[in-house]
Amino acid sequence: MIAIIDYGMGNLRSVQKGFEKVGYRAEIVNAPEKLVNYSGVVLPGVGAFADAMENLHQTGLVKAIKEIAASGKPLLGICLGQQLLFEYSEEWGKTPGLGIFAGRVRRLPPGLKVPHMGWNQIEIKRQSPLLEGVPDGSAFYFVHSYHVDPADGDVILTTTHYGVRFASIVGENNVFGIQFHPEKSSRLGLQILQNFGKLVERCW
């Protein structure tokens, strides 16, 4: 079963419904000690990086999320959830993140309309089970003003262009991050959630 982490900053129900549509049961969880009972974990999120990290610290979820990542169980960060997986963000100063991936979170370049909102395409840089059945050039729904800048380019699975070419999906071993919202991205977004579900199945 899949746990969707509730730390007060996620569109939890829409992610949960997305998994239900592709045949996977997902439960909303806010107690860190309960995460060990699940075979896969999703970290969603909307809003400010600093507020999100404060909430994760206050609820005791930081240690639990890092333990999930180290355990080999599939972990998926969505939108702000992806950004939280990195070492720090430049949003409103320098705020430390979870540090599961090396690198930082940067604001989109000046002169662009922000947030970057709407459909945009991905360019596949490296194949992954998370991308099974997703063609190169597929479009997904984005809403964000910041993007991840990985220190190691090998973790970049796809890029997207909006004023700058940025990493739109990252992944290494059992940990993945997605900048767009798969739960709002129609059939191909649901395909990605289904692919994550298949990865989780292997841990059941």
Residues serving a catalytic function are 79, 181, 183
* Closest alpha carbon to 198 in 133, 136, 140, 145: 133
Bond from prior residue into 110 cis (ω within 30 degrees of 0)? no
> Which are the contacts of 51, defined by CB distance < 8 A and separation ≥ 6?
9
Query: Please, are residues 134 and 169 in contact by the beta-carbon 8 Å criterion?
Result: no
Tokens for 167?
């990493």
* Closest alpha carbon to 40 in 87, 4, 16: 4
